[in-house]
Amino acid sequence: MTETRPALLAIFELGGYPNFMPLYQRLGFDATLVNSLRRARNWLKKQRPEVIVAEYNFQSDFRDRSSNLETLMAILQKMPEVRLIAFYQPHQQMRFDALRERFPNIVGLAYPITEATLETILKTLVAGGTRQA
């Protein structure tokens, strides 16, 4: 009998942090990496991950939203069991907190992201722990 591994979707748009794919695989995830929200949206039409790891990208020039994550959150409202970990720049803390007021299930990690911190959060989320950080 084959055990199914939990799916993890990593959305790597901007970068600026290490490649965590080896960590995801070591923790037993069936990890997929995409480099755009458009590709993530297409992937989510076919798959339902346990966890999504994405970057928060505030953009003052977005016409109808303030960040890239709002599009993702619209999708995830239909998938309340999916956990989202978002990496954000410390200077964007206030804007990120405003997003979390609207979507409180986002777990935030400020840069610099360490493998140890991310590993702890992933283990907690998968074990059914809190979604708040």
**In this predicted structure, which of 33-42, 50-59, 79-88 has the lowest mean pLDDT?**
50-59
Say how far apart CA 57 and CA 99 lie, in whole Å: 11
pLDDT greater at residue 49 or residue 129? 49
Task: Return the pLDDT at 102.
Answer: 85
Tell me the residue type at 5. Answer: R
Task: Return the pLDDT at 52.
Answer: 96
Task: Return the pLDDT at 133.
Answer: 41
Is the separation of the CB atoms in 79 and 50 below 8 Å?
no
% of the chain surpassing 90 pLDDT: 56
* Across 44-51, average pLDDT: 93
**Domain at 7-126: CATH code:** 3.40.50.2300
pLDDT digits (tens, 9 = 90+) for 88-133: 999 999 989 988 998 888 999 999 999 999 999 999 988 764 434 4
% of the chain surpassing 70 pLDDT: 87
Asked if pLDDT for residue 83 goes beyond 50, the answer is yes
Question: Residue ranges per domain, the chain?
Answer: 7-126
**Mean pLDDT, the chain, integer:** 86
